[in-house]
Amino acid sequence: MIIVLRPEASEEQINHLVEKVKKLGLTPHISKGTERTIIGVIGPEDVLRVTPLEVFPGVERVIPVLAPYRLVSREFQRKDSVVEVGKGVRIGDKKVVVMAGPCAVENIDTLYEIAKEAKKAGAVVLRGGAFKPRTSPYAFQGLGEEGLKHLAQVGKDLGLVTISEIMDPRDVELVAAHVDILQIGARNMQNFNLLKEVGLTKKPVVLKRGLSSTIKELLMSAEYILAGGNFNVILCERGIRTFEEFTRNTLDVSAIPSVKMLSHLPIIADPSHAAGKWGLVPPLAKAAVAAGADGLIIEVHSHPEDALSDGAQSLLPSNFSNLMQELRILVKAIGREI
């Protein structure tokens, strides 16, 4: 932690700070510059971080030196984490894992139809929302438990790993009983009680980046889950909110290599929610994989005209199949498989 003092800071104010720092068990290091005095503080920053040094008289700015996350950091674990999600599927390994399926589970027949096509094309994880976070209270809110059962059934019959979103800490047990991977959506990335609850299970979790969350905040939310004891976390870049209006969100493709620099956790991308337009999904999927993504989660629907949610960004099975063929060639060129 570095404390930058105001030009007019008095000796008394500096001493007051130095004492405070020492009382916290840390070692202050004073550098007097021509225009400013700086106090470097040696020792674990966690103790300091909760002390509002900015309000001490004479302080201009406080600059943290260490990252606020620990367990998720590269420094905590040098080598890449690989998360096993069931049926031999491993995320963070050489294989790029593709998850596909409808935005929402609507009925079991449509889900079967989509899942079969997705599997044929190469997807190994089946996605499908049973609890849907919808901006409008009047929009379709998902089938709930029934949707989870459909997902579990289809996953079992076709040998696909399953993933579904969880929105409520009260539903953790229910969702965990039916699906292989819990998904925490962008709007719940800082639903801290949900993070804590999910941290108490051992279930793999896909944690999506919030619409306006920094990479650091994404890592801090993951830290909540790891701190609870659950290290099976997969991060997901799904687009951030910017001023651009042509796309639904802006896929922050830089987040993928940035996360790889800062953390050992695997990261996948969701080009469907980022784009908001199915025509942009294939180029964004390819960009994410080229940037190092460990997987993709893609919305596929056999009858997007009848989809109850997000039809506009869903690929038809035929388009998904074409994309998978292109990805198969692309991943080879970067030394991976699909």
What are φ and ψ of residue 330, in 5° steps? -65, -45
Contact between 100 and 118 under an 8 Å Cβ cutoff? The reply is: yes
CB atoms under 10 Å from CB of 75, counted, come to 12
How many other CB atoms are found less than 10 A from the CB of residue 10? 12
Q: Considering the complex, what minimum distance in angstroms separates the CB of residue 230 from a copy of itself? A: 12
Rounded least distance, CB 171 to a copy of itself, Å: 9
DSSP secondary structure code for residue 337 in this structure: B
- For a copy of itself, the closer CB: 100 or 240: 240
Q: Minimum distance from CB of 246 to a copy of itself (Å)? A: 5
The residue among 86 and 169 lying less far from a copy of itself, judged by its C-beta, is 169
Residue number, 155 or 317, with CB nearest to a copy of itself: 317
Name the minimum Å distance from CB 68 to a copy of itself. Answer: 6
- CB closer to a copy of itself out of 88 and 333: 333
Between CA 112 and CA 199 the distance in angstroms is 31
Closest to 274 (Cα-Cα) out of 292, 256, 294, 251: 251
Nearer to a copy of itself, 89 or 323 (CB): 323
**In the complex, least distance from residue 8 CB atom to a copy of itself, rounded to whole angstroms:** 10
Give how far the C-alpha of residue 66 lies from the chain's centroid of Cα atoms, to the nearest Å: 22
158: number of Cβ within 10 Å: 15
Identify the helix (H) or strand (E) that includes residue 281.
helix 281-290
Residue with tokens 């989509």: 114
CB of 92 to a copy of itself, least distance (A): 16
Q: Cβ closer to a copy of itself: 104 or 160?
A: 104
